[in-house]
Amino acid sequence: MAVYTNLGTERLAALIAAYDVGDLVSAKGIAEGVSNSNWLIETSGKDGGTGSQGARFILTMYERRIETADLPFFLDLLDHLSAADCSVPRTIHDRDGASFRMVDGKAVALIEFLPGVSPTAPSADQARAVGVALARMHAAAQDFPGTRDNDLGPGENCATLESCGSDALSQIDPDLPEVLPRARAIAQTWPSDLPRSIVHSDLFPDNVLMLGDRVSGLIDFYFACADQMAYDLAVTHAAWCFSKDGSRFDPALGQALVTGYESVRPLERRERDALPLLAEGACLRFVASRAQDWIETPAGALVTRKDPMDFVRRWNTYRALGQEAFA
């Protein structure tokens, strides 16, 4: 279970009392997530009844990966997008108007609970709906006043992969070191002049809540940053349109995702031309982070390491298909 810090009932009740959401009724640890502690919170609601609207929330304690200085950007972004009618949970501010509080030196935030489940085998209709939601998010974020640099760009990802070293990479898979020159080429040829907005940058199926074929929530914005919108579409394409191990590409999902996106925001010709390279860069990012995590995870750790080869296979598909992958 992803609850790294135990907070007793009394401490949780005192924490919830700092918000105008009623009294704490229950708190259940959430197993999903690997970086933070999360609880599903139920309160009595403002009118004292557990059935009242807004009685369920997500409480997150930021344990690692998130810099406290970045939290205003992430949490204000949720409020901005929610106010623009995007399917994004809003931040619940405390009675003093603060978007997060500190508990034992760690930041905690209370977030609106949205209904829905994450798809494990997405359909074309679901992929189309995600494309629509992503484009709407990009449009709504155009006037967001905050900004944050992408610290996981192709140059940084290439450097991460190189720091792992060929010997260590070959211990993961004998073919893995072969991507090093390809990584360098992507970093050297990466476009920098495509239309930009605030992007999600990590929109995997488990970061989308759906009710049937309708997107009910885009969540986990903790990689959000200012970057090229077509790159965010490419990340989402790589995340949604392949089997889990990357060995099978589903063109119908890819076509539906792009069609849904362009129904809201048509791509410029230069964006469409760049999509194959952007998708390779998306694969580089996850190959690099997974390789680093694999190497740094102790042998006896109770953690299921993610295979970077899952994204090498996607990378190979994009190199082979080029524009055809986005037709």
pTM, 2 dp = 0.92
Tens of pLDDT along 309-321? Answer: 999 999 999 999 9
Q: Which CATH architecture has domain 9-112?
A: 2-Layer Sandwich (3.30)
- Residues 210, 118 contacting (CB under 8 angstroms): yes
How far apart are the C-alpha atoms of 234 and 257, rounded to whole Å?
10
Provide the percentage of residues in the chain whose pLDDT is more than 90: 83
Mean pLDDT of 69-96: 97
pLDDT band at 104, cuts 50/70/90?
A: confident
Give pLDDT, residue 47: 57
In terms of pLDDT, which residue wins out, 184 or 303? 184
pLDDT for residue 50 is more than 60: no
Query: Which residues have CB under 8 Å from 152's CB, separation 6+?
Result: 201, 223, 285, 289
**What would the mean pLDDT of 274-280 be, rounded to a whole number?**
98
> pLDDT at position 300, please?
62
- Read off the pLDDT of each residue in 201-221 and give the average, rounded to a whole number: 97
Classify domain 124-326 by CATH number.
3.90.1200.10
Please, what is the Cα angle at 122 between 117 and 126, to 5 degrees? Answer: 80
What is the structure's pLDDT at 34?
A: 55
Residue 160, both tokens: 């991460």
Distance (Å, whole) CA 112 – CA 86: 13
**Per-residue pLDDT at 2:** 47
Share of the chain above pLDDT 70, in %: 92
Q: Give CATH 3.30.200.20 domain extents, the chain.
A: 9-112
Strand partners of residue 249: 242
Work out the average pLDDT over 290-306: 79
Average pLDDT over residues 82-90: 97
- What are the tens digits of pLDDT across the range 215-229? 999 999 999 999 999
Domain with CATH 3.90.1200.10 in the chain: 124-326
